């Protein structure tokens, strides 16, 4: 009888706190029960959702909280469970996957209207915010559904490139942290400044599997730390948060898939004196290649691609 007087559809789960709970009658602490995340991942692996919330708050001057993170998690679960979208992600180019994703995510957005009307209204009323949410969700989705072996079969494109190594010159059989690493960072910068993309390290231009073992670092973990460090040094701390590397085994060798999301601000590359302009070089993707834009062209591109940054573009394009 009570249930008949309550609109149960208007209720939703809302995260209000997290942590350890003190027991009332016994000495000790009760740890939170682990919840099963999508694909069975541990809760700490959902940290990217918290990062998305933090970036949205900073970019749009908002105060989105845990309840919005919960809603984003529910949206991701819906997208993750979509078999047709998963098939598209594994078999198509990034551009074609995005077309399918945009259709699917619109349905998912409509489903949150009762659970989180505030977020729904902001997504639908504020075009820039809505696009930012969709971009974040798309990049997060691809990270979980893109397999290196399938990507290699497609060959290089505007949003996919292969690099044999991060720092080792295979032709001369020596370490080259300058030219070889610059080529990797240049590709990452171009992806960030254009539409995002996937960089596969450990794969030759012709698709042959080289493996990151060729970089002669002691372990995969050391390779990942080295990649993170050079990204911060060459592209800056903020830009480095837009890349998400992970390793996969292909034909018995380790390949690093670097997923690069579209950056919300211009990214310049400065690396060991390789830059043409003192303030850093600006790269974009053009077809299956990376090109450096001269200052005048870069300024025009920045005004179009990054309108929020056009009032104070980075040196040397002021």
Domains of the chain from N-terminus onward? 34-145 (no CATH), 150-308 (3.30.950.30)
pTM over 0.75: no
* Rounded-to-integer distance, Cα 161 and Cα 166, Å: 13
First CA to last CA across the chain, in angstroms?
68
What pLDDT score was predicted for residue 9?
42
Residue 134 has a pLDDT of 95
Query: Could you give the strand order of the β-sheet that contains 289-293, starting from the edge strand earlier in sequence?
Result: 268-269, 281-286, 289-293
pLDDT for residue 142: 87
C-alpha–C-alpha distance, residues 263 and 275, integer Å: 20
Q: pLDDT tens digit string along 14-67?
A: 555 555 445 444 444 444 443 333 333 333 334 778 888 998 999 999 999 999
The length of the chain is 318
Q: What's the pLDDT at 49?
A: 85
Arithmetic mean of pLDDT over the chain: 85
In eight-state DSSP terms, residue 129 is H
Residues of the chain short of pLDDT 70, as ranges, are 1-46, 309-318
> What pLDDT is recorded for position 103?
96
CA-to-CA dists, residue 287 to 12, 105, 157, 191, 203, angstroms: 45, 27, 6, 11, 19
Candidates 301, 91, 278, 81; CA nearest to 190 is 301
Among candidate residues 169, 274, 258, 158, the one with its CA nearest the CA of residue 215: 169
pLDDT score of 19: 52
Here the tokens at position 145 are 């559904």
In order, the DSSP letters of 203-258 are B-TTS-B--GGGG--S-HHHHHHHHHHHHHHHH-HHHHTTEEEEEEEETTEEEEEE
Looking at residue 16, its pLDDT comes to 52
pLDDT of residue 1: 45
Cβ atoms of residues 193 and 243 within 8 Å:
no
Give me the pLDDT at residue 65, please.
Answer: 93
Q: At 147, is the secondary structure helix, strand, or coil?
A: coil
DSSP 162-218: EES-SSEETTTTEE-TTHHHHHHHHHHHHHHHTT-EEEEETB-TTS-B--GGGG--S
């Amino acid at each position: 009888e009570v249930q008949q007087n309550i609109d149960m559809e208007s209720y939703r789960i809302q995260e209000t706190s997290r942590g350890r709970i003190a027991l009332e009658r016994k000495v000790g602490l009760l740890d939170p029960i682990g919840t099963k995340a999508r694909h069975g991942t541990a809760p700490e692996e959902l940290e990217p959702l918290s990062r998305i919330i933090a970036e949205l708050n900073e970019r749009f001057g908002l105060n989105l909280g845990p309840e919005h993170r919960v809603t984003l998690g529910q949206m991701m679960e819906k997208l993750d469970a979509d078999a047709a979208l998963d098939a598209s992600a594994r078999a198509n180019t990034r551009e074609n996957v995005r077309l399918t994703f945009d259709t699917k995510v619109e349905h998912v957005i409509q489903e949150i209207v009762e659970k989180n009307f505030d977020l729904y209204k902001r997504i639908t009323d504020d075009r820039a915010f809505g696009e930012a949410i969709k971009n974040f969700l798309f990049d997060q989705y691809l990270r979980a559904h893109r397999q290196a072996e399938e990507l290699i079969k497609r060959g290089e494109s505007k949003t996919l490139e292969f690099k044999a190594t991060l720092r080792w010159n295979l032709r001369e059989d020596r370490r080259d942290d300058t030219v070889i690493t610059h080529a990797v960072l240049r590709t990452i910068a171009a992806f960030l400044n254009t539409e995002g993309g996937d960089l596969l390290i450990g794969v030759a231009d012709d698709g042959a599997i080289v493996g990151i073992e060729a970089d002669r670092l002691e372990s995969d973990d050391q390779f990942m730390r080295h990649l993170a460090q050079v990204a911060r040094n060459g592209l800056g701390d903020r830009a480095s948060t837009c890349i998400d590397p992970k390793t996969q085994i292909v034909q018995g060798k380790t390949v690093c898939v670097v997923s690069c999301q579209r950056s919300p601000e211009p990214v310049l590359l400065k690396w060991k004196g390789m830059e043409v302009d003192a303030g850093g070089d600006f790269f974009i993707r053009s077809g299956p290649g990376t090109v450096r834009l001269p200052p005048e062209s870069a300024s025009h591109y920045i005004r179009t691609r990054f309108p929020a940054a056009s009032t104070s573009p980075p040196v040397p394009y002021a």
